[in-house]
């Protein structure tokens, strides 16, 4: 019978140490690769290079109140609705365009 040199479980300890070195080396390599990649990228834009809102305000922006559309009901429970029977949009423009407000009770 062949016996291992050293205390029992020494091979496992060495294996775990070598595995830890491999993982640590891979992490160091990944960090160095990330640093090199970041150095090659262009710098982020300065505040002066950021886009600005025109003096006239937002372009082509509309604000409207929407309300949910009604979902059509099938004639009987066994019938299934097809996509053509359902509206394309789940909401529509409301007749009332005043914004709802919370009423204060003071």
In a domain, 31, yes or no: yes
Host domain of residue 15: 9-41
Give the distance from CA 78 to its chain's centroid. 39
Domain presence at residue 30: yes
The answer to the question of residue 14 being in a domain is yes
Predicted local confidence at residue 32, as pLDDT: 98
Tokens of 30: 């990944």
- Of 16-25, 30-39, 40-49, 89-98, which range is least confident? 89-98
Cα(88)–Cα(71) distance, integer angstroms: 11
Q: What are the tens digits of pLDDT across the range 32-84?
A: 999 999 999 998 889 999 988 888 877 777 788 888 877 777 778 778 878 77
Task: Indicate whether 19 belongs to any domain.
Answer: yes
| Distance between CA atoms of residues 43 and 28, nearest Å | 24
pTM of the model: 0.38
Nearest-angstrom CA–CA distance, 5 and 76: 83
pLDDT of residue 85: 76
| Residue 76 within a domain | no
Within a domain: residue 16? Answer: yes
Overall number of domains in the chain = 1
Q: What is the mean pLDDT of the chain?
A: 83
Per the model's pLDDT, the better-predicted residue between 98 and 21 turns out to be 21
CB 75 within 8 A of CB 42: no
């Amino acid at each position: 019978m062949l016996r291992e040199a050293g205390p029992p479980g020494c091979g496992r300890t060495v294996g775990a140490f070598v595995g830890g070195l491999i993982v640590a080396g891979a992490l160091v390599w990944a960090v160095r690769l990330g640093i090199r990649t970041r150095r090659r990228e262009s710098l982020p834009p300065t505040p002066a290079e950021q886009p600005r809102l025109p003096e006239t305000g937002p372009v082509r922006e509309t604000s409207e109140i929407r309300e949910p559309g009604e979902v059509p009901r099938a004639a009987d429970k066994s019938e299934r609705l097809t996509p053509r029977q359902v509206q394309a949009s789940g909401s529509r423009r409301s007749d009332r365009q005043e914004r709802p407000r919370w009423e204060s009770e003071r």
